[in-house]
């Protein structure tokens, strides 16, 4: 037995009692732990904990409680309410650890000293009453919140909010019991519904902010630090400080290196003390202030960053996205943003003043050297002062005001190529107007315009100004100087007091009115000493093509009066007049181009009908052409009456001197009719017929009449050196093709009066031979009182079988052909002595038969007797195989010969040809 220890104790007994006590305590703790983990504990303590927390201003509900093995009580599926009525849920929490005072619990007092969240999720319903309510989600939230003396001390609150790393610190006062809150004198206490509504508005603003941030992508997660102080039951009076920062922000093609923001919220007053953004071009700094619920937000902004990218990223505005800045633009703005109230719904909910200054930039393929402007924007309007745009071709400066009540006013000075604005002009009409001008680096541009209007629509504005353009082109016409007063009011443009200078002269106009919608131009008082084709082409290109056919000198004096419809020529009504006292022009007749000296003319356009009256001098004599032309594309109709004092025309490779010509020509698809009258070689000439049929455009048919043509004058052209006498009269009916003499076919008759037999062409070549055979007294009677024949033409040959020349002593008979294309003849001649000498010479008749060959102008005649007794043979042309060619007979013309003699003899002077009027042969 072990002896007792000091003071009479037994060591073994003490050890035993210690073990018993530890067993009892352990059993008790184990039993307590088992009890706390059972549903019985949760049911017993749930209501108690909810009630105790409500006493401290925290209105919670949860599904169950359990003991946390490491300490505290865990509440699951927690809901936080806005008030004691538990009608409005503020937040849903997965689980919440309640850290209570164990000592107080032993005294039957449940005192929560702290709330702890560990990697939990918290959601805030933004609009629970909505059919599709949205929630603000806080993920992976960890926090330690201490409850001391009616306040919450927030420490170590961290989580993730929509991808943003959130840190929260601060101190919040818990609500006191409603019955103990003394009312503020003169201020009604907010109702629970008002508190909830205010909180909902905060939540909606937060959600809108999160939605806006969701458009961006970040290289690193943004960080948001909040310091919150205030009372939970007075959320509108909280004091909050916000710190936000992120690196590597992107939106579409826009990228920023960093974004930082600092803001304060105090009792509903928001103060953005700093917003800083940095991108590839520069920086943005913004400050702003706003009393929540107020209508206006005041701000200041300075920027040297990428303005198009900023507008697209932060304002969701693509209007500037096509601009590329090569240098940092500088923008400074200060003003008010109407975020609430009636002005917030306006299309311009701001009142801002500022200044923009940027260097070189490009847009839509055009590069500008810089831009400056002072701007102002308000709900009622916009103004721009001291606007200056620089371009390689010059500058554009402007002042403008667009006001809802005062209307629109602007002042514009353009000293640059307006073609630089083509990419920005949306309307086709505006582009067409600008494209009419072509400028070069040597051009000078000075256009000043002022405008006013009662409506923002530019089509309603009245615009007036003055333009002075140098060394440029307008619709392809180069001008050294263009000066005009301008007045524009859609759809009309008025140009007054116009002066155009070119190297060759000056053009002036009193008034030009243009309607670019209906596409017409009305001209008044246009007088020009410059290129008439260019002047007319400015207003009517198709009309200019007609004027161009006259090939007038560019110094021709021209005038234009009337209305030109350049898209609907069927409505045209204008007159073009031109004259040049010393220059030359051209006029086309029968496909020949004739030079006109001192041209003058008048072209009258009435719809698709052109009437012309052109005059001048052609080949040394006056000329005039009048007529009309149907300008419709499907029509070839025209008429022309041409008169000319002189009109040489090539006939058989010789120039025939036609004089006092009068040509009446008309045509269409069916062909061209012509009636030409003139004087020719001392007599008269007439040519009628048709040409240019639709079936064969080169074919023609006609009838030629000659009256009293002087044989001496005729011989001077075709048989120089032949002393011919007398006159010739005849007619010729023919067909042919233009510019193809071999295709000429026809028949005719010819009579010669008062001619010397020996001087008659072809026949006169027999004279030397006749003088050697006939007695002298017979040879002296050589005056041919008459000579006539019928003939046919075909394949380049003129054929006659009955040429007869009579004198008082003998008769000469000819037959054969003339190759007028190759200047050759093949003729037979027989001379018969008349009266008693004829009987004497009858035995010698073979001596008076001859054969003529060779060129027309130098034919060789030989007696047939000397050619081997050859008998008289009718000359007949041969084809390419040397076979006789049948020709159309001219025998039908023989009955007309007596009529020719009768019609062309003058009864008073039988030996002289009549001066009577030309006739047409019977059909």
Judge whether residue 890 has pLDDT over 50: no
pLDDT band at 574 (very low <50, low <70, confident <90, very high): very high
Write out the two tokens for 888. Answer: 């159309």
Judge whether residue 557 has pLDDT over 50: yes
Judge whether residue 39 has pLDDT over 60: no
Judge whether residue 245 has pLDDT over 70: yes
Judge whether residue 88 has pLDDT over 80: no
Percent helix / strand / coil, the chain, rounded to 5 = 20, 50, 30
In this prediction, residue 202 carries a pLDDT of: 64
The single-letter DSSP state of residue 3 is: P
In this prediction, residue 906 carries a pLDDT of: 40
Asked whether 796 and 821 are in contact (CB, 8 A), the reply is yes
Q: For residue 832, which of 791, 773, 895, 776 has the smallest C-alpha distance?
A: 773
Distance of CA 510 to the CA centre of its chain: 29
In this prediction, residue 58 carries a pLDDT of: 75
Percent of the chain with pLDDT over 70: 76
Arithmetic mean of pLDDT, 319-344: 88
Q: What is the dihedral of CA 187, 191, 192, 197, to 10 degrees?
A: -90
3-state secondary structure 181-216: CCCCCCCCCCCHHHHHHHHHHHHHHHHHHHHHHCCC
More confident residue, 129 or 702: 702
C-alpha distances out from residue 644 to 310, 615, 659, 668, 724, Å: 80, 9, 7, 24, 29
Pairing between β-strand 223-231 and β-strand 164-173 as defined by DSSP bridges: parallel
Coil, helix or strand for 542?
A: helix
Exposure string (b/e) for 663-672, b if CB count within 10 Å is 16 or more?
bbbbbeeebb
The single-letter DSSP state of residue 913 is: B
Asked whether 118 and 75 are in contact (CB, 8 A), the reply is no
CA angle centred on 132, ends 128 and 133, rounded to 5°? 30
Asked whether 528 and 557 are in contact (CB, 8 A), the reply is yes
Judge whether residue 111 has pLDDT over 90: no
Q: How far apart are CA 782 and CA 807, in angstroms?
A: 6
Whether 833 maps to a domain, the answer reads yes
pLDDT digits (tens, 9 = 90+) for 651-684: 777 888 999 999 999 988 878 899 999 999 999 9
pLDDT digits (tens, 9 = 90+) for 531-556: 888 878 877 777 788 888 888 888 88
Q: Return the H-helix or E-strand segment holding 561.
A: strand 557-565
In this prediction, residue 738 carries a pLDDT of: 81
Q: For residue 855, which of 760, 739, 718, 650 has the smallest C-alpha distance?
A: 718
In this prediction, residue 299 carries a pLDDT of: 95
Whether 114 maps to a domain, the answer reads yes
DSSP codes joined into one string, 274-331: EEEEEESS-EEEEEEEEETT-SEEEEEEEE-S-HHHHHHHHS---TTTTEEESS--EE
In this prediction, residue 677 carries a pLDDT of: 95
Write out the two tokens for 162. Answer: 């929509």
More confident residue, 668 or 178: 668
In this prediction, residue 885 carries a pLDDT of: 46
Q: For residue 171, which of 205, 146, 143, 195 has the smallest C-alpha distance?
A: 146
In this prediction, residue 920 carries a pLDDT of: 30
Coil, helix or strand for 608?
A: coil
pLDDT band at 787 (very low <50, low <70, confident <90, very high): confident
Pairing between β-strand 505-515 and β-strand 492-502 as defined by DSSP bridges: antiparallel
The single-letter DSSP state of residue 30 is: H
pLDDT band at 694 (very low <50, low <70, confident <90, very high): low
Whether 521 maps to a domain, the answer reads no
Exposure string (b/e) for 155-164, b if CB count within 10 Å is 16 or more?
eebebebbeb
pLDDT digits (tens, 9 = 90+) for 247-286: 998 888 889 999 999 999 888 888 999 999 999 889 999 9
Region of poorest pLDDT, from 132-146, 372-386, 399-413, 757-771: 757-771
In this prediction, residue 246 carries a pLDDT of: 93
- Whether the CA torsion 503, 509, 515, 520 is positive or negative: it is negative
CA angle centred on 440, ends 439 and 441, rounded to 5°? 130
Q: How far apart are CA 526 and CA 534, in angstroms?
A: 13
Q: How far apart are CA 420 and CA 389, in angstroms?
A: 11
pLDDT band at 723 (very low <50, low <70, confident <90, very high): low
Sorted by sequence, the CB contacts under 8 Å of residue 591 that are 6+ apart come out as 738
Percent of the chain with pLDDT over 90: 32
Whether 499 maps to a domain, the answer reads no
Last residue in a domain, options 165, 199, 233: 199
Asked whether 364 and 393 are in contact (CB, 8 A), the reply is no
In this prediction, residue 136 carries a pLDDT of: 77
Exposure string (b/e) for 866-878, b if CB count within 10 Å is 16 or more?
eeeeeebeebbbe
pLDDT digits (tens, 9 = 90+) for 802-812: 888 877 667 88
Cα-Cα end-to-end distance for the chain: 184
Q: For residue 156, which of 165, 143, 139 has the smallest C-alpha distance?
A: 143
Backbone angles phi and psi of 877, in degrees to 5: -70, 155
Arithmetic mean of pLDDT, 837-863: 68
In this prediction, residue 19 carries a pLDDT of: 56
Cis peptide leading into 657, omega within 30 of 0?
A: no
For residue 46, what are the domain limits?
Answer: 33-177+191-199
C-alpha distances out from residue 48 to 85, 106, 149, 342, 628, Å: 17, 15, 20, 51, 116
In this prediction, residue 409 carries a pLDDT of: 94
Arithmetic mean of pLDDT, 891-914: 44
pTM: 0.65
More confident residue, 529 or 868: 529
Write out the two tokens for 325. Answer: 């800045």
Backbone angles phi and psi of 25, in degrees to 5: -65, -40
pLDDT band at 464 (very low <50, low <70, confident <90, very high): very high
Sorted by sequence, the CB contacts under 8 Å of residue 651 that are 6+ apart come out as none
Mean pLDDT for the chain overall: 79
Judge whether residue 573 has pLDDT over 90: yes
In this prediction, residue 907 carries a pLDDT of: 39
Region of poorest pLDDT, from 199-208, 605-614, 719-728, 885-894: 885-894
pLDDT band at 453 (very low <50, low <70, confident <90, very high): very high
Helices 11-36, 39-55: crossing angle, 10 deg rounding: 80
pLDDT band at 379 (very low <50, low <70, confident <90, very high): very high
Q: Return the H-helix or E-strand segment holding 15.
A: helix 11-36
C-alpha distances out from residue 389 to 284, 317, 405, 417, Å: 24, 23, 28, 12
Domain total for the chain?
A: 2
Strands in 126-253 per DSSP E: 135-148, 151-161, 164-173, 217-218, 223-231, 239-251
Judge whether residue 862 has pLDDT over 70: yes
Pairing between β-strand 323-325 and β-strand 296-303 as defined by DSSP bridges: unpaired
Whether 597 maps to a domain, the answer reads no
pLDDT band at 21 (very low <50, low <70, confident <90, very high): low
In this prediction, residue 903 carries a pLDDT of: 42
In this prediction, residue 643 carries a pLDDT of: 93
Asked whether 452 and 407 are in contact (CB, 8 A), the reply is yes
Judge whether residue 2 has pLDDT over 80: no
Arithmetic mean of pLDDT, 731-755: 87
Radius of gyration of the chain measured on its C-alpha atoms:
59
Side-chain-side CA neighbours of residue 79 (13 Å) = 12
Q: How far apart are CA 836 and CA 724, in angstroms?
A: 29
Whether 336 maps to a domain, the answer reads no
pLDDT band at 515 (very low <50, low <70, confident <90, very high): very high
Whether 360 maps to a domain, the answer reads no
Q: How far apart are CA 29 and CA 38, in angstroms?
A: 14
Arithmetic mean of pLDDT, 79-88: 77
More confident residue, 1 or 197: 197
Judge whether residue 6 has pLDDT over 60: no
pLDDT band at 882 (very low <50, low <70, confident <90, very high): very low
Whether 852 maps to a domain, the answer reads yes
More confident residue, 592 or 452: 452
The single-letter DSSP state of residue 52 is: H
Neighbouring C-beta atoms of residue 799, cutoff 10 Å: 25
pLDDT digits (tens, 9 = 90+) for 363-374: 888 999 999 999
C-alpha distances out from residue 835 to 597, 749, 838, 846, Å: 61, 28, 5, 18
Residue 609 burial (10 A CB sphere; 0-12, 13-18, 19+):
middle
Judge whether residue 579 has pLDDT over 80: yes
């Amino acid at each position: 037995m072990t002896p007792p220890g000091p003071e009479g104790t037994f060591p073994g007994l003490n050890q035993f009692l210690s073990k018993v006590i530890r067993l009892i305590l352990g059993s008790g703790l184990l039993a307590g732990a088992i009890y706390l983990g059972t549903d019985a504990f949760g049911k017993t303590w749930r209501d108690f904990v909810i009630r105790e927390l409500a006493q401290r201003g925290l209105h919670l509900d949860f599904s169950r409680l359990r003991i946390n093995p490491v300490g505290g009580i865990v509440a699951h599926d927690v809901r936080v309410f806005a008030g004691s009525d538990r009608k409005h849920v503020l937040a849903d929490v997965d689980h919440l650890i309640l850290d209570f005072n164990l000592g107080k619990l032993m005294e039957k007092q449940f005192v929560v000293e702290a709330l702890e969240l560990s990697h939990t999720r918290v959601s805030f319903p933004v609009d629970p009453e909505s059919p599709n309510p949205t929630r603000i989600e806080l993920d992976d939230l960890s926090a330690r919140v201490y409850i001391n003396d009616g306040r919450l001390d927030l420490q170590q609150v961290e989580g993730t909010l929509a991808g943003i790393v959130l840190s929260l610190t601060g101190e919040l006062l818990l609500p006191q019991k409603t019955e103990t809150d003394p009312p503020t004198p003169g201020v009604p206490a907010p109702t629970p519904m008002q508190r909830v509504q205010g909180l909902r508005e905060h939540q909606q603003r937060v959600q809108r902010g999160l939605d806006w941030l969701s458009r961006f992508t970040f290289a690193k997660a943004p960080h948001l630090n909040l310091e919150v102080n205030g009372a939970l039951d007075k959320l509108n009076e909280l004091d909050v400080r916000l710190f936000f920062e992120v690196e590597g922000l992107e939106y579409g093609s826009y990228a920023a290196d960093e974004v930082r923001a600092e803001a304060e919220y105090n009792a509903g007053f928001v103060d953005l003390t700093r917003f800083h953004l940095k991108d590839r071009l520069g920086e943005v700094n913004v400050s702003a202030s706003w009393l929540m619920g107020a209508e206006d937000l005041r701000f200041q902004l300075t920027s040297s960053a990428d303005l198009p990218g900023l507008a697209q990223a932060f304002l969701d505005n693509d209007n500037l996205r096509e601009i590329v800045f090569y240098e940092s633009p500088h923008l400074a703005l200060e003003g008010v943003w109407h975020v609430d109230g009636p002005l917030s719904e306006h299309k311009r909910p701001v009142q801002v003043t500022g200044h923009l200054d940027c260097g070189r930039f490009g847009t839509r393929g055009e590069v500008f050297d810089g831009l400056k402007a002072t701007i102002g924007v308000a709900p009622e309007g916009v103004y721009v002062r001291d606007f200056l745009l620089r371009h390689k071709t010059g500058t554009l400066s402007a002042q403008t005001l667009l006001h809802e009540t005062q209307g629109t006013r602007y002042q514009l000075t353009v000293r640059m190529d307006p073609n630089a604005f083509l990419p920005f002009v949306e309307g086709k009409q505006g582009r067409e107007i600008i494209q009419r001008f072509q400028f070069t680096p040597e051009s000078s541009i000075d256009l000043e315009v002022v405008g006013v209007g009662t409506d923002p629509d530019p089509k309603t504005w009245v615009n007036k100004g003055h333009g002075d353009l140098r060394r440029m082109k307008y619709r392809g016409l180069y001008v050294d100087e263009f000066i005009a007063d301008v007045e524009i009011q859609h759809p009309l443009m008025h140009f007054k007091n116009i002066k155009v200078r070119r190297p060759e002269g000056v053009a002036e106009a009193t008034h030009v009115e243009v309607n670019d919608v209906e596409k017409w131009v009305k001209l008044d008082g246009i007088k020009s000493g410059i290129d008439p084709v260019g002047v007319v082409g400015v207003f009517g290109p198709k009309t200019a093509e007609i004027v161009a056919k006259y090939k007038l000198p560019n110094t021709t004096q021209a005038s234009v009066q009337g209305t030109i419809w350049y898209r609907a020529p069927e409505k045209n009504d204008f007159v073009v007049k031109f004259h040049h006292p010393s220059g030359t022009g051209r006029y086309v007749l029968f496909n020949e181009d004739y030079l006109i000296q001192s041209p003058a003319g008048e072209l009258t356009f009435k719809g698709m009908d052109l009437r012309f009256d052109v005059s001048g001098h052609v080949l040394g004599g006056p000329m005039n052409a009048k007529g009309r032309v149907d300008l419709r594309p499907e029509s070839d109709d025209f008429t022309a009456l041409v008169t000319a004092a002189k009109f040489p025309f090539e006939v058989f490779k010789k120039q025939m001197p036609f004089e006092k010509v009068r040509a009446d020509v008309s045509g269409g698809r069916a062909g061209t009719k012509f009636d030409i009258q003139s004087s020719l070689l001392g007599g008269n000439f007439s040519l009628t017929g048709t040409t240019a049929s639709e079936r064969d455009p080169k074919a023609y048919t006609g009838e030629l009449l000659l009256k009293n043509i002087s044989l001496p004058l005729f011989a001077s052209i075709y048989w120089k050196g032949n002393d011919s006498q007398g006159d010739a009269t005849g007619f010729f009916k023919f067909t042919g093709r233009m510019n193809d003499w071999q295709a000429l076919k026809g028949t005719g008759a010819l009579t010669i009066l008062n001619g010397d037999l020996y001087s008659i062409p072809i026949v006169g070549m027999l004279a030397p031979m006749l003088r050697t055979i006939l007695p002298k007294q017979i040879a002296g009677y050589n005056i041919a009182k008459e000579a006539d024949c019928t003939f046919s033409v075909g394949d380049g040959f003129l054929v006659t079988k009955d040429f007869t020349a009579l004198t008082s002593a003998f008769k000469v008979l000819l037959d054969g052909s003339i190759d007028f294309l190759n200047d050759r003849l093949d003729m037979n001649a027989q001379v018969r002595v008349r009266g008693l000498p004829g009987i004497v010479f009858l035995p010698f008749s073979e001596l008076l038969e001859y054969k003529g060959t060779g060129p027309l102008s130098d034919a060789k005649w030989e007696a047939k007797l000397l050619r081997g007794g050859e008998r008289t043979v009718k000359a007949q042309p041969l084809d390419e195989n040397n076979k006789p060619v049948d020709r159309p007979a001219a025998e039908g013309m023989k009955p007309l010969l007596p009529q020719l003699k009768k019609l062309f003899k003058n009864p008073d002077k039988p030996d002289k040809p009549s001066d009577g009027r030309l006739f047409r042969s019977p059909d």
